[in-house]
């Protein structure tokens, strides 16, 4: 079986990497909705339209599962996709629960997009799991831009990150949640800036385990692992950043959806 994965852009490659580590024998198709990136500031209605378009494009590629490798899209569209699609859908949410388990100062920080932080799913998550913890949220649109540009540790990215992290450091936060799939690409830099006393939470391994549970429950036949990449943007522009983030160059197809 082939697993379909989509995100607004290339950030979801962090999720794809975790899925490939869990399920090395499955085919993977990754769709970057680059023509509509970033998702963070977009209205819910538009995110829902894009979710249906991207998921249906993946289903046309014969995938047996759709993974929404995007916290923003998951927040706005999971119920709709689960109601509409003929295949199981796995989504994600910021790792508030593991952060609450890890914090000693009872102060956690969440880096995410506006869409994720203002969504009903996030307030319910905080209410359920972090009622007795101080949760500092930071909307970080400029980090999405830096990762989409393939700038993971240059001076501009360092400056942007310093601005976003400063209030968390001032507040004595000891646990930081990466609530956007673009941000694990900045983990080395974030760890360097906050130091060893701060735990940085990336939920992609846990979500990949959930994908593995869903895929193995379907008992689908394994086949030779193929890996395909596509974008709704301009493939020639996306290809160099894909090579940088994925670690090796791959052809990237044009997706029309
Ligand atoms: N990677 C996305 C997320 O996990 C969305 C970033 C964006 O397009 O604004 O939220």
pLDDT in tens, 196-245: 999 999 999 999 999 999 998 886 666 667 899 999 999 999 999 999 99
Given this model, what pLDDT does residue 225 score?
74
Is 55 in the same domain as 180?
no
For 28, the 3-state DSSP assignment is: strand
Phi, psi of 27 (to 5 degrees): -70, 150
Instruction: Say whether pLDDT at 57 is over 70.
Output: yes
Is 216 in the same domain as 198?
no
> Final residue of a domain: which of 159, 176, 202?
202
Is 111 in the same domain as 75?
no
pTM of the model as a whole: 0.95
User: What's the rounded mean pLDDT across residues 87-95?
Assistant: 98
> How many angstroms does the Cα of residue 75 sit away from the middle of ligand 1?
11
- Report whether residue 72 contacts ligand 1, using a CB cutoff of 6 Å: yes
Is 149 in the same domain as 197?
yes
d(CA 176, CA 101): 12
Q: Which residues are catalytic?
A: 70, 180
Neighbours of 214 (CB within 10 A): 17
User: What's the rounded mean pLDDT across residues 146-153?
Assistant: 98
Catalogue the E-assigned strands of 170-223.
175-178, 199-201
- Report whether residue 185 contacts ligand 1, using a CB cutoff of 6 Å: no
- Report whether residue 36 contacts ligand 1, using a CB cutoff of 6 Å: no
Q: Which helix (H) or strand (E) holds 210?
A: helix 204-217
- Report whether residue 14 contacts ligand 1, using a CB cutoff of 6 Å: no
* DSSP bridge partners of 178: 111
Is 102 in the same domain as 198?
yes
Is 209 in the same domain as 198?
no
> Final residue of a domain: which of 163, 185, 202?
202
Residue 68 gets the label, from left (phi > 0), alpha (psi -120 to 50) or beta, of beta
Q: How many domains does the chain have?
A: 2
Is 137 in the same domain as 184?
yes
Q: Which atom of ligand 1 is nearest to the CA of 72?
A: 10
For 256, the 3-state DSSP assignment is: coil
> How many angstroms does the Cα of residue 61 sit away from the middle of ligand 1?
23
Average pLDDT over all residues of the chain:
96
Q: Are 162 and 186 in contact (CB under 8 A)?
A: no
- Report whether residue 75 contacts ligand 1, using a CB cutoff of 6 Å: no
Is 45 in the same domain as 111?
no
User: What's the rounded mean pLDDT across residues 53-70?
Assistant: 97
> Domain containing 173: what range?
96-202
Q: Which atom of ligand 1 is nearest to the CA of 37?
A: 8
Is 49 in the same domain as 86?
yes
Can you give the CATH number for the domain in which 43 is found? 3.40.50.1860
Q: Whose CA is nearest to atom 9 of ligand 1?
A: 40
């Amino acid at each position: 079986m082939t697993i379909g994965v989509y995100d607004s852009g290339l950030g979801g490659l962090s999720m794809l990497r975790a899925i490939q580590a869990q399920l090395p024998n499955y085919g993977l198709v990754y769709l970057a909705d680059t023509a509509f990136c970033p998702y963070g500031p977009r209205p819910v209605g538009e995110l829902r339209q894009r979710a249906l378009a991207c998921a249906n494009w993946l289903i046309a590629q014969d995938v047996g599962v759709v993974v929404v490798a995007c916290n923003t899209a998951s927040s706005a569209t999971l119920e709709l996709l689960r109601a509409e699609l003929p295949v199981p859908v796995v989504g994600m949410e910021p790792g508030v629960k593991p952060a609450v388990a890890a914090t000693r100062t009872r102060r956690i920080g969440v880096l995410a997009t506006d869409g994720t932080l203002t969504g009903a799913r996030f307030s319910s998550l905080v209410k359920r799991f972090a009622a007795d913890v101080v949760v500092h949220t930071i909307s970080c649109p400029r980090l999405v831009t830096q990762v989409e540009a393939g700038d993971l540790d240059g001076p501009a990215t360092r400056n942007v990150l310093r601005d976003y992290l400063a209030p968390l450091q001032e507040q004595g936060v000891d646990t930081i949640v990466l609530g956007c799939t673009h941000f694990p690409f900045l983990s080395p830099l974030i760890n360097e800036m906050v130091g060893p006393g701060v735990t940085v939470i990336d939920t992609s391994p846990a979500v990949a385990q959930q994908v593995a549970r869903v895929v193995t429950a379907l008992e689908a036949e394994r086949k030779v692992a193929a890996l395909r990449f596509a974008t709704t943007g301009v493939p020639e522009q996306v290809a160099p950043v894909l090579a940088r983030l994925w670690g090796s160059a791959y052809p990237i197809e044009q997706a029309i959806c």
